[in-house]
Amino acid sequence: MLKRLINSLLSAGRAFSAIKKYQITVQRKEKIIMNKWNLKNALGMLIYLLLYVIGTILVCMTGIIHPVFFVCYQIIAGIVLTVIVIKAFDQLKTFGVAAGLSAGVIILMLVMDDAVLWHVIPIITIAAAAEIIRYLFKYSWTGNLVGAAIMTFSTFGYYAQIWFNRDYTYEHATEEMPAGYADTLMAVSPMWALPVVIIAGIALSAVTANAAAKLFKLEKK
């Protein structure tokens, strides 16, 4: 009887060990799949690309509500876009994700006939920076975290005009927005507001990324 129990335990142990080895093998294969471009991952990235484009549009649309929201584009983007980007980065840990997301925004600009240099150059710059950072950190959580924060600057070419090209911004706001919008925009955008919104946006991006990691159970390695 005792011998049978021991043999049963040994058999159960061997079975458990075989299952664990199988699970490890499956997990390794899944990681390999996550680190490569294939049809499944490409389709998944297409969804994130669309979400990133929609998120960028939503950030820009908040400026219609009040000039303060225009000034705070980076803060809003730090929340809205971070969730999308950090999920995309976690989904596919290889080169090209940031470039793909930024390409979506550039295509949108082309469709809107708004692909001027001061809009397109920041998009290309953040894509290149995010790709380099992720590569240097070997597509780890730290690389994804920093890369996601960088990718929230998709609207920089728009809101930076408030401070770097004030006459142009005032003129267009006067022409395109309701009466008083341009004057209010100038009043709520002193020069010191630029570093404040950038720092606040980056900080909120980090907080949002960590919250998203807990919510979606992302790998933080």
On whether both 12 and 121 belong to a single domain, the answer is no
DSSP state letter for 38: -
Burial classification of residue 132, based on how many CB atoms lie within 10 Å of its CB (0-12 exposed, 13-18 middle, 19 or more buried): middle
Mean pLDDT of the chain: 87
| Residue 19: inside a domain | yes
On whether both 98 and 188 belong to a single domain, the answer is yes
Burial classification of residue 205, based on how many CB atoms lie within 10 Å of its CB (0-12 exposed, 13-18 middle, 19 or more buried): buried
On whether both 84 and 73 belong to a single domain, the answer is yes
| Residue 6: inside a domain | yes
Q: How far apart are the C-alpha atoms of 188 and 194, rounded to whole Å?
A: 11
| Residue 151: inside a domain | yes
In angstroms, the Cα distances linking 70 to 50, 59, 165, 185 are: 22, 9, 15, 8
| 129-176 pLDDT tens trace | 999 999 999 999 999 999 999 999 999 999 999 999 999 999 999 999
Q: How far apart are the C-alpha atoms of 209 and 144, rounded to whole Å?
A: 9
Q: Tokens representing 7?
A: 């043999």
Three-state secondary-structure class, residue 52: helix
- Separation of first and last alpha carbons in the chain: 48
| 202-221 pLDDT tens trace | 999 999 999 999 999 998 88
| Residue 117: inside a domain | yes
On whether both 137 and 173 belong to a single domain, the answer is yes
On whether both 20 and 81 belong to a single domain, the answer is no
On whether both 25 and 81 belong to a single domain, the answer is no
| Residue 221: inside a domain | no
| 88-142 pLDDT tens trace | 999 999 999 999 999 999 999 999 999 999 999 999 999 999 999 999 999 999 9
On whether both 85 and 193 belong to a single domain, the answer is yes
Question: Is the predicted pLDDT of residue 64 greater than 50, yes or no?
Answer: yes
DSSP state letter for 116: -
Please, which pLDDT band fits residue 37 given cuts at 50, 70 and 90? confident
Residue 151's nearest CA partner among 104, 117, 218, 193 is: 104
Q: How far apart are the C-alpha atoms of 130 and 30, rounded to whole Å?
A: 24
pTM greater than the 0.75 cutoff:
yes
On whether both 130 and 179 belong to a single domain, the answer is yes
| Residue 156: inside a domain | yes
Task: Report how many domains make up the chain.
Answer: 2
On whether both 22 and 117 belong to a single domain, the answer is no
On whether both 29 and 61 belong to a single domain, the answer is no
On whether both 104 and 189 belong to a single domain, the answer is yes
Question: Is the predicted pLDDT of residue 66 greater than 60, yes or no?
Answer: yes
Query: Domain range for residue 144?
Result: 37-216
